[in-house]
């Protein structure tokens, strides 16, 4: 393998034999980069680049990557990948895969980080990395990414849930709320629920409704993850609600997931209930189970969580609330006992 030579400009270049023409003249390819390692990497990539995908542009590689996984990834994931391909990394999208360097990737990520959240940048880089590893498996990616901001999770209070229960009584939102708060089920799972999936108080969560990647059409598929296929035993008052619908076959909920998402905040606003998302009803359910001392493994099974990252966020929120209460108790005690010693207006009142 040829060694990169440093140019007067400070860059590094590798000259690699390409072919000999009909006149016997040898032709070489030059590979230039800002450092020796990247220049030699470009040359190595070219040497192993006889396969057609080596000459693809990044945009073409992204498209092929997506097309090859349409039947295995969820429509939501496919839609997210297409959005990244169409809207971001514009300075790289038309570039040949075997000419992209780490410096190019870092510059592209820096551009996106200037106006996007850290989470979005990580998602973009994750997709880019997956594509590059697929088509250039020997290429080492070491990008400096913005630090993620700790996400704030919202757990509605018991008071908010009680007021919500009154507000949605005998409406088309009552059953969705009950299934989410006391299950807990996701909105797509709720909209896909059929009478055939229920036996007594037990619901078999085995369906999900998702929007297709290429059209504004809702399609039924398997649950979000392996952990999502589960059995949930509901309390009697929830069973009585679905029985009161009189539905013995087909779906219980005629609303689509987007309609639930749009109607829910209007209900809160109209009834003066502090804002939280419909999805936060699941967090409420998890927090109550945790307060009852239910082991995490059972909370995760009931909610269809494949790992405990969400539960940790819920618990942190609960601990922060407790911390505020305990801090108030501590400060109220010290204030009552010692305020008069440091407040001239209260001097003489301390005992």
Give the CATH number, domain containing residue 108.
1.10.150.130
For residue 351, name the pLDDT band (cuts at 50, 70, 90).
Answer: very low
Quick check: helix, strand or coil at residue 217? coil
Give the CA diameter of the chain.
Answer: 109
User: What is the reported pLDDT for 151?
Assistant: 64
Is the model's pLDDT at 288 over the cut of 50? yes
Q: Are residues 206 and 262 in the same domain?
A: yes
Higher pLDDT, 35 or 129: 129
Question: Residue 26's domain spans which residues?
Answer: 5-135
165 in the same domain as 81: no
Q: Is residue 17, in this structure, part of any structural domain at all? A: yes
Task: Please determine, for residue 39, whether its predicted confidence score (pLDDT) is greater than 90.
Answer: no
Q: Is residue 345 part of a domain?
A: no
Does residue 289 sit within a domain?
A: yes
Q: 302 and 184: one domain?
A: yes
How is residue 163 written in tokens? 């007021």
Rounded to two decimals, the pTM is 0.64
User: Hunting for tokens 């009852």 — which residue is that?
Assistant: 292
* pLDDT tens-digit series, residues 304-332: 888 877 777 777 666 666 677 777 888 88
Residues 42 and 124 in one domain: yes
Is the four-CA dihedral 48, 52, 53, 56 of positive or negative sign? Answer: positive
Instruction: Please give the Cα distance from 94 to 92 (Å, whole number).
Output: 6
Q: How many independent structural domains does the chain possess?
A: 2
Residue 153 forms part of a structural domain = no
Same domain, 303 and 167: yes
- Answer whether 175's CB lies under 8 Å from 195's CB: no
């Amino acid at each position: 393998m040829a060694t990169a030579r440093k140019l007067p400009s400070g860059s590094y270049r590798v000259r690699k034999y390409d072919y000999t023409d009909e006149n016997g003249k040898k032709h070489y390819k030059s590979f230039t980069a800002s450092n020796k390692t990247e220049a030699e990497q470009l040359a190595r990539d070219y040497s192993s680049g006889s396969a057609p995908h080596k000459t693809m542009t990044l945009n073409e590689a992204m498209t092929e990557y997506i097309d090859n996984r349409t039947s295995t990834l969820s429509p939501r994931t496919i839609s997210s990948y297409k959005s990244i391909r169409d809207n971001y990394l514009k300075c790289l999208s038309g570039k040949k895969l075997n000419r992209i360097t780490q410096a190019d990737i870092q510059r592209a990520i820096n551009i996106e980080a200037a106006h996007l959240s850290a989470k979005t940048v990580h998602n973009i880089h994750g997709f880019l990395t997956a594509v590059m590893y697929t088509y250039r498996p020997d290429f080492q990616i070491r990008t400096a990414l913005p630090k993620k901001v700790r996400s704030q999770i919202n757990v509605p209070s018991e008071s908010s849930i009680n007021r919500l229960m009154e507000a949605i009584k005998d409406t088309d939102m009552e059953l969705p709320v009950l299934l989410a708060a006391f299950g807990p089920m996701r909105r797509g799972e709720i909209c896909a629920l059929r009478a055939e999936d229920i036996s007594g108080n037990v619901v078999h969560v085995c369906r999900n409704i998702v929007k297709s990647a290429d059209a504004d059409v809702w399609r039924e598929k398997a649950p979000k993850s392996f952990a999502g296929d589960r059995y949930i035993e509901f309390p009697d008052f929830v069973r009585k609600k679905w029985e009161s619908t009189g539905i013995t076959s087909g779906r219980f909920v005629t609303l689509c997931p987007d309609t639930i998402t749009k109607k829910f905040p209007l209900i809160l606003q109209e009834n003066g209930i502090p804002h939280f998302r419909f999805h936060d009803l699941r967090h409420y359910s998890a927090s109550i189970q945790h307060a009852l001392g239910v082991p995490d493994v059972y909370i995760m099974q009931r909610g269809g969580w494949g790992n405990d990252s969400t539960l940790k966020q819920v618990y942190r929120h609960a601990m922060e609330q407790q911390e505020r209460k305990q801090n108030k108790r501590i400060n109220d005690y010290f204030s009552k006992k010692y305020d008069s010693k440091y407040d001239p207006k209260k001097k003489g009142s301390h005992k």
